[in-house]
Structures are given as structure tokens and as C-alpha cells.
């Protein structure tokens, strides 16, 4: 059984590293994203969310 916790009504914001599955889950649940990417593919995923107004990126450098 899978549980998609981003769909829970108490979740108002999704904080993620920007991996594909977690990003897709947040998008499907219509939750805004705060992305903290650690690898290039994650940066690309979070950049796409920022581009379309679905979230913000935090850079820890």
C-alpha cells in the first residue's frame, strides 16, 4: 500500500530535495514546493517548478 502524504489536508507546503517522485507527488497534490537540491537532476526539477510558479529554491551554498 502506498501513502501519498502530500495529499493529506494538513500538508500546506512540501519541502523536498527535488527528486522526481517527491516532486511529482507535490505537483499532483497541488502543493507549493520549497526545493533544496543536492544533485544536478534535482536542481533541474526544482528549476522547472520555480519556472512555472509552483515553488521556490533554497541554495545552501
Domain positions in the chain are 12-57
3-class secondary structure, 53 = coil
Between the alpha carbon of residue 7 and those of residues 18, 36, 41, 49, the distances in Å are 17, 20, 24, 18
State residue 18's pLDDT score. 95
2-61 pLDDT, tens digit each: 677 888 899 999 999 999 999 999 999 999 999 999 998 999 999 999 999 999 999 887
* pLDDT for 60: 82
Overall pTM surpassing 0.85 (yes/no): no
pLDDT of residue 53: 97
Amino acid at each position: 500500500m502506498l501513502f501519498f502524504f502530500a495529499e493529506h489536508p494538513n500538508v500546506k507546503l512540501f519541502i523536498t530535495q527535488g527528486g522526481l517522485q517527491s516532486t511529482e507527488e507535490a505537483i499532483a497534490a497541488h502543493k507549493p514546493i520549497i526545493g533544496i537540491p543536492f544533485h544536478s537532476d534535482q536542481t533541474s526539477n526544482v528549476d522547472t517548478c520555480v519556472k512555472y510558479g509552483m515553488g521556490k529554491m533554497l541554495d545552501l551554498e
